Amino acid sequence: MSKESGKSIAVFCAASDGTRSVYRETAQELGRTLASRGIGLIYGGAKIGLMGAVADSTLAAGGRVVGVIPHVLVDKEIAHDGLSELHVVDTMHTRKRLIGEKADAFLTLPGGFGTFEELFEVLAWQTLKLHAKPVVLLNVGGFYDSMLAFLDVCEGEGMLRGNRHRLLVASTVDEALSLAGMS
């Protein structure tokens, strides 16, 4: 691993692999890139799915990985026992708060309801000026195209009140890290 940058990025993503190999491949590429740049990974603490893929590839490349998982998900998401640090917390809210405090930026890969909720919560926090950290969506293989089109509709209907630009969108790992201020 290269010299520690002192920066950390929160990554939100699925506890499953999805149906397309590009999702897992991108998660692995992200992990290797984080380690090579000395950027710490903070994530949900699971060893399965895309979460496990990004954590394992970061660790395998010599990077630092911090997991944060609530007690209720330790068995369900299968907590990763090989991390640099694993914080087991009481609630999902505490998980998100701790991840948010430790991260210098947020990056979202493909995922489901939990991933969407994490993404939209940090965007809401940013809109309310509770943080000024970059929020980046890595739109792997067009996974989020329909959601982005919907957000454009919301903007056009006046529901996002000019805040659509807060969600930074990338199509590659390098572009995502650049937008996150981690290039």
pLDDT of residue 4: 64
- Tokens 């529901």 -> residue: 159
pLDDT of residue 2: 43
State both tokens at 10. Answer: 């929160």
User: Which stretches in the chain have pLDDT values below 70?
Assistant: 1-4, 77
Count of beta carbons in the 10 Å neighbourhood of residue 10: 28
pLDDT of residue 161: 87
Q: Is residue 52 within 8 Å of 29, Cβ to Cβ?
A: no
- Integer Cα distance of 120 and 30 in angstroms: 21
The mean pLDDT value of the chain amounts to 94
- Integer Cα distance of 133 and 113 in angstroms: 22
pLDDT of residue 149: 97
pLDDT tens-digit readout, 39-56? 999 999 999 999 999 999
Q: Is residue 32 within 8 Å of 61, Cβ to Cβ?
A: yes
